[in-house]
């Protein structure tokens, strides 16, 4: 009797696992976003670049003495913003990141109150740990 009881204890877990595996097997791949046209790429750049000063300010609060870490923090925030924008507008992430790069290189118009930063500070040991 104890052998049956031991096997019966795992029945709910086995059922849930079987259902999960079945769901994975029959699931379909989500539709891929179409390639972005020039207008969408410029819109993405403007939307993301318009918040650069704000995002850099937040990063400066996190790393007041370490310029490289500050820049790294800014780029993580920029990536999060780009990912959110791509999801909302059903755009490919690669197209949005490419638009940021192209917009910086070609000087596309943006709504940021200050010029965009196109350099990266050198990585040096932190002043404080």
C-alpha distances (whole Å) from 21 to each of 8, 10, 13, 72, 128 are 20, 16, 12, 39, 49
**Predicted pLDDT of residue 129:** 57
Contact criterion met (CB below 8 Å) for 44 and 38: no
**Predicted pLDDT of residue 2:** 63
* Distance in angstroms (rounded) separating the CA atoms of residues 11 and 15: 6
Closest CA to 96 of 55, 31, 43, 32: 43
**Predicted pLDDT of residue 128:** 64
**What's the whole-model pTM score?**
0.73
**Predicted pLDDT of residue 126:** 63
Contact criterion met (CB below 8 Å) for 122 and 111: no
pLDDT < 70 regions, the chain: 1-5, 126-129
**Using one digit for the tens of pLDDT, what is the confidence trace for 73-107?**
999 999 999 999 999 999 999 999 999 999 999 99
**Predicted pLDDT of residue 127:** 63
């Amino acid at each position: 009797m104890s052998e049956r009881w031991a096997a019966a204890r795992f029945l709910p877990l086995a059922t849930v696992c079987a259902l999960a595996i079945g769901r994975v097997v029959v699931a379909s791949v989500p539709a891929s976003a179409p390639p972005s046209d020039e207008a969408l790429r410029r819109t993405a750049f403007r939307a993301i670049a318009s918040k650069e000063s704000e995002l850099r300010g937040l990063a400066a609060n996190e790393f007041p003495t370490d310029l490289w870490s500050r820049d790294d923090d800014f780029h993580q925030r920029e990536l999060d913003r780009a990912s959110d924008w791509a999801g909302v507008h059903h755009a490919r992430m690669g197209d949005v990141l490419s638009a940021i790069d192209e917009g910086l290189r070609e000087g596309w118009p943006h709504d940021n109150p200050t010029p965009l930063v196109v350099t990266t500070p050198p990585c040096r040991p932190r002043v404080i740990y």
